[in-house]
Homo-oligomer: A and B are copies of this chain.
Amino acid sequence: MSNSTGRLFRVTTFGESHGPALGCVIDGCPAGLVLDIDAVQADLDRRRPGQSALTTPRGEADRVEVLSGLFEGRTTGAPLCLIVRNVDADASAYARVSEVYRPGHADWTWTEKYGHRDWRGGGRSSARETVARVAAAAVARQFLSLEASIEVVAWVEQVAEVTALIDEGTVTRALVDAHPVRCPDPDAAARMAAQIEAAKHAGDTLGGVVACVARGVPLGYGEPVFDKLQADLAHACMSLPACKGFAIGSGFAGARLRGSAHNDPLYFDADAGRVRASKNDAGGVLGGISNGERLVMRCAFKPVSTHFQPQQTVTRSGEVHTLTNSGRHDPCVLPRAAPLVEAAVLLTLADHALRLRAARPFGRERP
C-alpha cells in the first residue's frame, strides 16, 4: 500500500476500523508552531459520525492523543504522531459478511490483491481511516494559518438532484455547520435533508458533490509540470473514499464555454499591490501555480455502497450470494465528506507551502 503523502509536509497514516488505533505521523512540520490540541480535537469531532439523525449513530469518542513531536505545547521539528484509539469496535456484526464481496466496496479487490484481509468493518479500507487524515490536516490547518493566513472551507453543494449556490468569498465553517447536512444555504439544506430522509426510508443511499474554497493562498503554490497544484489537489481528493470526480474552477462546465468567455481578465489592484483576476473561472490556478485568487474545487461522491435492498454478488469462493444489509449506516456521506475534502486540500497546501519556501528564486527578495 502507499500510506504516505506529501514531499515536505509528509503524512503517513495507519490503522483499521476495528483495530487498536488509527493515527498519523507528520514529518516536516516546522518547529516552533504552537499546536492547539483542542482545535485538533474539534476538527476530529466534525468528522465524527453520530452528530445528527442524518448520520450513523456509532458512538465513537475519537479522542486524540499526541505520542511525539510536541514539547511545552510547541512543535520541535520532530515527527508528530497523533493517535485515536478505537473504543466502539464490536466487529461481530461483520463476521456474517466476512466471506462475501459487498458490491461497491473494497472487499473484492483487496482480498484478491492482498490475499489476507481484515474484514472487521472494512479494516483498512474503511472510511474510518480518514480519522487520521483529519487529525493530520488539523495540524496542517494551524501551520497554514501561521504561514500564510490561509483558510479552507468545504460544504455540501449537491445531494442527489438538489444543488445549492454558495458565495465562496463569505462562506465559513460556522455557516456550514449551522445545518447538519452541512449545506450553508438553509433552503437547499432542508431539501437535501428531506431527500436523505426519503432515501433512508426507502433503504437506499445518495451521493452528491462537496465544494471547497481555499482563501488566502498566496501566488506561487504548485510545481509544474507534474505536481501542478490542481494535480496534487486532485490526487488528494480522489484518494478519499467514494470520490469519483474532481474539478477546479470551471471544471466540466468550463468545457462548454468559449475562450473569450472563459479567460479571466487581469488588472492591477493598487490597494493590494498586486495583479488580480477580475473573475475566477480558473479557480485560482494558472499554469499549475496558484495565482493568489481563491482556489475553488468540487468533488463528486458516489452514493453510499451499503444500502438495504437485495444485491447480487458472490462469496470469496465464487458462489452466488444475495446480500441484504442491515444495521446502522449512513444513507448519505456528504455531510461527513465535507471535512474530508477540507483535509485533502489542507494537506496539499501545507506541502506546497513548504515547497514554495525551497523554490525561492535568486534576484528577488524573500517572499
**Cβ of A105 < 8 Å from any Cβ of B?**
yes
Interface residue tally on A, bucketed by range:
35 or more
A72 to B205, CA, bound (A): 33
A250 to B265, CA, bound (A): 34
Residues of B within 8 A of A230 (CB): 238-239, 243-244
**Cβ of A96 < 8 Å from any Cβ of B?**
no
Residues of B within 8 A of A223 (CB): 1-2
Residues of B within 8 A of A140 (CB): none
Nearest chain B CB to A55's CB is how many angstroms away? 15
A264 to B258, CA, bound (A): 37
Q: Mark A153-182, 1 if CB is under 8 A from B, else 0.
A: 000001011000000000000000000000
Q: Are B266 and A3 in contact (CB under 8 A)?
A: no
Copies in the complex: 4
Q: Are B113 and A220 in contact (CB under 8 A)?
A: yes
Residues of B within 8 A of A149 (CB): none
Q: Are B14 and A106 in contact (CB under 8 A)?
A: no
A-B contacts, 15 of them at CB < 8 A, read: A2-B226, A3-B79, A14-B25, A14-B69, A15-B67, A20-B66, A23-B67, A101-B266, A109-B291, A208-B255, A231-B236, A244-B251, A244-B254, A245-B247, A259-B303
**Cβ of A275 < 8 Å from any Cβ of B?**
yes
**Cβ of A328 < 8 Å from any Cβ of B?**
no
Given A226-B239, A232-B235, A114:B68 Cβ within 8 A: no
**Cβ of A186 < 8 Å from any Cβ of B?**
no
Residues in A307-359 with C-beta less than 8 Å from chain B: 307, 309, 311-314, 318-320, 354-359
Residues in A252-300 with C-beta less than 8 Å from chain B: 252, 254-268, 275, 277-278, 281-283, 285-291, 298, 300
Q: 11 other contacts beyond A104-B262, A259-B307, with CB at 8 A cut-off?
A: A1-B27, A8-B358, A103-B265, A108-B275, A109-B285, A110-B287, A204-B260, A207-B259, A234-B235, A246-B246, A259-B306
